Amino acid sequence: MTQTRAGYAPLIIPFAIVLIVLVAWTGWWFWLSQQVRDRLDLAAEGLRTQGWEVVYTEPALTGWPFRTRLESQHVRLTAPTGHEIAAPRLIAEANAYRPDRWVVIAGDGLVLTRGDKGKVAVDAPVIRASASGLTQPFPTLALEVLEPVFTAHPGAEPFPLARAERIELYVRPGQAREATAEVVQTALPASRRNVDVLFRLIDATGRDGGPIAFMSRDGLFSLQAETVVENFQGLSGPDAPTLLAAWTASGGRFLDVRGEMQAGDSAARLTSEELRADEDGRLVGTLRLSADRAATALTGLSRSDTVDRTATVGAAAAAGATEVLTGDVELEVEFRDGRAWMGPFNLAPAPELF
Whole-angstrom distance, CA of residue 123 vs CA of residue 153: 13
Q: Which helix (H) or strand (E) holds 36?
A: helix 2-49
- Residues with Cβ within 8 Å of 330's Cβ and at least 6 positions away in sequence, in order, are 288, 289, 290, 291
Cα-to-chain-centroid distance, residue 230: 16
Number of separate helices (H) and strands (E) present in the chain: 6, 21
Residue 49, φ and ψ in degrees, nearest 5: -65, -20
Per-residue pLDDT for the chain (354 aa), expressed as one digit of tens each?
455 555 555 667 777 777 888 888 888 888 888 888 888 899 899 889 888 899 999 999 888 888 899 999 999 999 888 889 999 999 999 998 888 899 999 989 999 999 889 999 999 999 999 999 888 878 899 999 999 999 999 999 999 999 999 999 999 987 655 544 444 334 444 345 789 999 999 999 999 888 888 878 878 999 999 999 988 777 776 666 777 788 888 888 999 999 999 988 888 899 999 999 888 888 999 989 888 765 555 554 444 444 444 444 444 444 444 444 445 678 888 999 888 888 888 878 888 877
The sign of the CA dihedral 176, 177, 183, 185 is positive
Rounded distance between C-alpha atoms, residue 291 and residue 261, angstroms = 9
- In this prediction, residue 345 carries a pLDDT of 83
Dmax (CA) for the chain in angstroms is: 106
In contact, 85 and 129? CB cutoff 8 Å: no
CA distance 117 to 123: 19
pLDDT of residue 327: 55
pTM recorded for the entire structure? 0.79
Which pLDDT does position 25 carry in this prediction?
Answer: 80
pLDDT for 260 equals 94
The three-class DSSP label of residue 245 is: helix
Burial class of residue 324, CB neighbours in 10 A (0-12, 13-18, 19+): buried
